Structure 1
Amino acid sequence: MGRYVLRRLLQLVPVFVGTTFLIFVLVWAVPGDPFTGMCGDRPCPPAFVAAMTDKYNLNDNVIVQYLKYMGALLTGDFGQTYSEQSVGDLIALAAPVSLRLAVVAVAIEAIVGVTAGILTGLRGRGFVDNLVLVSTLFLIAIPTFVTGFVIQIVLGFQLEILTPTVSSDATWGELIIPGFVLGSLSMAYVSRLTRTSIAENRRADYMRTALAKGQPKRRIVGVHLLRNSAIPVLTFLGTDIGNLMGGAIVTEGIFGIHGIGKLVYDGIIDKQGTIVVGVVVLLVVVFLVVNLLIDLMYAVLDPRIRYD
Structure 2
Amino acid sequence: MGRYVLRRLLQLIPVFIGTTLIIYLLVWAIPGDPFAGKCGERGCPPAYIAEMHDKYNLDDPLIVQYFKYLGKLLTGDFGETYAGVQVSQLIEQAYPTTIKLAVVALIIEALIGLAAGILTGLRGRGFADNLVLVSTLFLISLPVFVTGFVLQIVLGSELGIIKTTVSSQPSIGELIVPGFVLGSLSMAYVARLTRTSLMENRRADFVRTAVAKGLGPKRVVGVHLLRNSLIPVITFLGTDLGALMGGAIVTEGVFNIRGIGGLIFKAILTKEGTTVTGIVTLLVLVYLLMNLLVDVLYAVLDPRIRYD
Same fold flag (TM > 0.5): yes
Residues 54-65 of structure 1 correspond to what in structure 2 (within 5 A)? 54-65=54-65
Cα distance between partner residues in 2 of 1:122 and 1:233: 16
Which residue of structure 2 lines up, in the alignment, with residue 50 of structure 1? 50
Cα distance between partner residues in 1 of 2:5 and 2:272: 36
Cα offset for 1:214? Answer: 1.6
Which residue of structure 2 lines up, in the alignment, with residue 120 of structure 1? 120
Question: Which string of whole-angstrom CA distances, capped at 9 and with x for unpartnered residues, describes residues 240-278 of structure 1?
Answer: 000000111111111111111111101100100000000
Which residue of structure 2 lines up, in the alignment, with residue 191 of structure 1? 191
Q: Partner letter of residue 117 of structure 1?
A: G
Matched position secondary structure for 1:94:
helix
Residues 242-261 of structure 1 correspond to what in structure 2 (within 5 A)? 242-261=242-261
Cα distance between partner residues in 1 of 2:36 and 2:241: 35
Question: Which string of whole-angstrom CA distances, capped at 9 and with x for unpartnered residues, describes residues 45-90 of structure 1?
Answer: 1111111111111111101100110011111100000000000111
Cα distance between partner residues in 2 of 1:2 and 1:118: 33
Verify: 1:174 aligned to 2:192, yes or no: no
Cα offset for 1:209? Answer: 1.4
Query: Which deviates more, 25-34 or 70-79?
Result: 25-34
Which residue of structure 2 lines up, in the alignment, with residue 262 of structure 1? 262
Cα offset for 1:36? Answer: 4.2
Q: Under a length normalisation based on structure 1, what TM-score does the superposition of the two structures give?
A: 0.98
Cα distance between partner residues in 1 of 2:205 and 2:286: 37
Cα distance between partner residues in 1 of 2:172 and 2:41: 42
Verify: 1:205 aligned to 2:223, yes or no: no
Long gaps (5+) in structure 2: none
Cα distance between partner residues in 1 of 2:32 and 2:97: 31
Question: Which string of whole-angstrom CA distances, capped at 9 and with x for unpartnered residues, describes residues 105-156 of structure 1?
Answer: 1100000000000000000010000000000000001111111111112211
Cα distance between partner residues in 1 of 2:172 and 2:273: 31
Cα distance between partner residues in 1 of 2:243 and 2:258: 17
Q: Partner letter of residue 283 of structure 1?
A: L
Q: Partner letter of residue 145 of structure 2?
A: F
- Count of residue pairs the alignment pairs up: 308
Query: Which deviates more, 5-14 or 272-281?
Result: 5-14
Cα distance between partner residues in 1 of 2:158 and 2:35: 44
Q: Partner letter of residue 74 of structure 2?
A: L
Matched position secondary structure for 2:230:
helix
Q: Give the aligned CA root-mean-square deviation in angstroms.
A: 1.0
Cα offset for 1:37? Answer: 4.4
Q: Partner letter of residue 224 of structure 1?
A: H
Verify: 1:109 aligned to 2:101, yes or no: no
Verify: 1:225 aligned to 2:222, yes or no: no
Which residue of structure 2 lines up, in the alignment, with residue 137 of structure 1? 137
Which residue of structure 2 lines up, in the alignment, with residue 146 of structure 1? 146
Cα distance between partner residues in 2 of 1:105 and 1:306: 32
Cα offset for 1:2? Answer: 2.1
Query: Which deviates more, 2-11 or 65-74?
Result: 2-11
Which residue of structure 2 lines up, in the alignment, with residue 299 of structure 1? 299
Long gaps (5+) in structure 1: none
Q: Partner letter of residue 111 of structure 1?
A: L
Matched position secondary structure for 2:174:
coil
Residues 10-21 of structure 1 correspond to what in structure 2 (within 5 A)? 10-21=10-21
Q: Partner letter of residue 263 of structure 1?
A: L
Q: Under a length normalisation based on structure 2, what TM-score does the superposition of the two structures give?
A: 0.98
